[in-house]
């Protein structure tokens, strides 16, 4: 039987016992039909980290993403790859609900909210890119783990369908952290990638009785009003 884990956005950058395993690979940046590319991704996920992540998640970097507003359920939520081998490939995690709202087609931004294990995380101003039915949502988070300030990058990629999102993958990478002498957080540049095992992240209803929380979406320096707190 697979182990069942709970992870919140920040909890997933903590260390655990190491297991060395392999995983299937995916392509990296996706070419766009129009030839236009959303360069904001370069400011959220450094190229050296993105090149490594790109073996397991596709970055759809066009400038005409589909409208993806709605509530979705990622279940079963499984680990596809852990660059530091902390968890086992195929480990099953608690179901993940996420809500995408207030999509701005002019600025290609979107609000993101997630719920997992009765905890809700909320943020505004994430970026969205893509072309046709393919899209990628990406942003930086800032927060603390046991008083250690960390900066992460979160990426969600998939293909919008009439039933939800096909082939969704959810990535979390550690971009920076304060001194961490006890190695509580994973190392800078390490990342973990998850997917919906059945290949379809379906439309759903937002769960009731959840506990509100929040995180800080840190916008790149070229965006006015960076480090917005929620």
H or E element, residue 51: helix 47-53
For residue range 147-183, list pLDDT tens digits in order. Answer: 899 999 999 999 999 999 999 999 999 999 999 999 8
Residue 199: inside a domain: yes
Over residues 196-212, the mean pLDDT reads 86
Do 121 and 143 touch, CB atoms closer than 8 A?
no
Predicted model pTM: 0.81
What is the model's pLDDT at position 206? 93
Percent of the chain predicted with pLDDT > 70? 75
CA distance 195 to 73: 11
Specify the DSSP class assigned to residue 221. Answer: T
Bridge partners, 104 (sequence order)? 109
Question: In the chain, how many domains are there?
Answer: 1
Over residues 13-34, the mean pLDDT reads 44
Residue 223: inside a domain: no
pLDDT at 32 over 60: no
CA distance 191 to 153: 9
Residue 44: inside a domain: yes
Do 128 and 39 touch, CB atoms closer than 8 A?
no
Residue 43: inside a domain: yes
pLDDT at 37 over 70: yes
Measured distance between the N- and C-terminal CA atoms of the chain, rounded to whole angstroms = 38
Residue 229: inside a domain: no
What is the model's pLDDT at position 116? 85
Residue 224: inside a domain: no
Domain that holds residue 37: 4-218
For residue range 213-228, list pLDDT tens digits in order. Answer: 555 555 443 333 333 2
Cβ-count burial 6-31 (b if 16+ within 10 Å, e if not): ebbbbebbbeeeeeeeeeeebebebe
Q: Which residue has the higher pLDDT, 184 or 61?
A: 61
CA distance 67 to 191: 27
Instruction: Name the pLDDT band for 96 (thresholds 50, 70, 90).
Output: very high
Residue 59: inside a domain: yes
Residue 230: inside a domain: no
């Amino acid at each position: 039987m697979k182990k069942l884990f709970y992870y919140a956005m920040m909890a997933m950058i903590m260390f655990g016992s190491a297991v060395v395993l392999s995983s299937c690979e995916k392509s990296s940046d996706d070419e766009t039909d129009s030839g236009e590319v959303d360069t904001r991704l370069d400011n959220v996920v450094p190229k050296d980290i993105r090149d490594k992540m790109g073996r397991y998640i596709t970055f759809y970097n066009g400038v005409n993403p589909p409208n993806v507003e709605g509530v979705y359920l990622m279940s079963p939520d499984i680990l596809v790859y852990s660059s530091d081998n902390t968890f086992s490939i195929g480990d099953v995690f608690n179901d993940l609900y996420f809500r995408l709202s207030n999509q701005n087609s002019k600025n290609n931004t979107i609000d993101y909210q997630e719920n997992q294990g009765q905890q809700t995380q909320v943020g505004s101003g994430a970026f969205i890119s893509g072309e046709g039915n393919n899209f990628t949502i990406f942003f930086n988070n800032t927060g603390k783990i046991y008083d250690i300030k960390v900066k992460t990058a979160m990426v969600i990629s998939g293909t919008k369908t009439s039933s939800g999102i096909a082939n969704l993958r959810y990535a979390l990478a550690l971009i920076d952290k304060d001194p961490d002498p006890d190695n509580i957080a994973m190392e800078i540049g390490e990342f973990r990638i998850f997917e919906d095992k059945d290949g379809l992240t379906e439309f759903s209803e937002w769960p009731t009785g959840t506990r509100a929380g929040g995180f800080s979406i840190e916008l790149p320096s070229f965006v006015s009003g960076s480090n917005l707190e929620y």
